[in-house]
Amino acid sequence: MDKRVIKLSVTNCYLIANGNSYLLVDTGYDYEWDLFYRRLAEAGVSFSQISHLLLTHHHDDHCGLLNRVIEQNEDIRVIMSQRARDLILGGKNDHAHGGGYINRRVNLLLSLKKMFDKRWTHTFPPYRVRENDILIEGDTRLSEIGIGINGKILETPGHSVDSISLLFDDGDCLVGDAAANFLQFAGTKYCVIYIEDMEEYYRSWQKLIAEGSRQIFPAHGSAFPVEKLKQNIGKNNQRNMVMIA
């Protein structure tokens, strides 16, 4: 499978070949346009070649450039969870469902980041779903929505209510923030730094394992074998989280 990484400041986006076109998975922060544009050119792909754009969820580091990408090619069909429709129109990361940072060390690190990085606001340009876009409800084969790639979209909530992952039949799985390989020294244990519901997050891990995932490709950090999920399920506890909602 032709899978190319678009590596931004902290977010990995992915390009998946679909015949002569490409499926793009996620974008980045709204201030990363120049970097995104350059990385896309380095990958040898033009905006006109992108037929679909799948959002793993509505957060600012995943959908911030959505409008800019669509401006380059209005024929791109955006794929997202049906639960993302209103959230992405709101223009900010949703905290209405609770949630927080997974431990005090992560909370301290992100408090420092917020102090020194004034661009880090958890906001993004709102996006209104168009008639031609695709809203996913339930696990869905790519062939069901007109994409000729062997794989399926899985609902994997826990980080956010609208989180989805893309599992290919060969076992490669693009998980967005349903898992991560980031800030391991701070005790993340392959979790992303912000989680709404820890138990649901780990249930999504169990689903990824049960569905046949072999290699995990997160939005944050390098790829890793699914065994890391098996070894780390339950090692973080909701009681240790620093709630921010």
To 10 degrees, the CA torsion angle through 170, 174, 180, 182? 100
pLDDT value, residue 244: 85
pLDDT value, residue 245: 60
Q: In the chain, what are the domain boundaries?
A: 3-243
Parts of the chain with a pLDDT under 70: 245
pLDDT value, residue 9: 96
pLDDT digits (tens, 9 = 90+) for 137-154: 999 999 999 999 999 999
- Token pair, residue 14, equals 């992915």
d(CA 102, CA 196): 10
pLDDT value, residue 138: 97
Q: Which CATH number fits domain 3-243: 3.60.15.10, 3.40.190.10, 2.40.10.480, 3.40.50.2300?
A: 3.60.15.10
Provide the 8-state DSSP code for 123: B
d(CA 102, CA 79): 29
d(CA 24, CA 22): 6
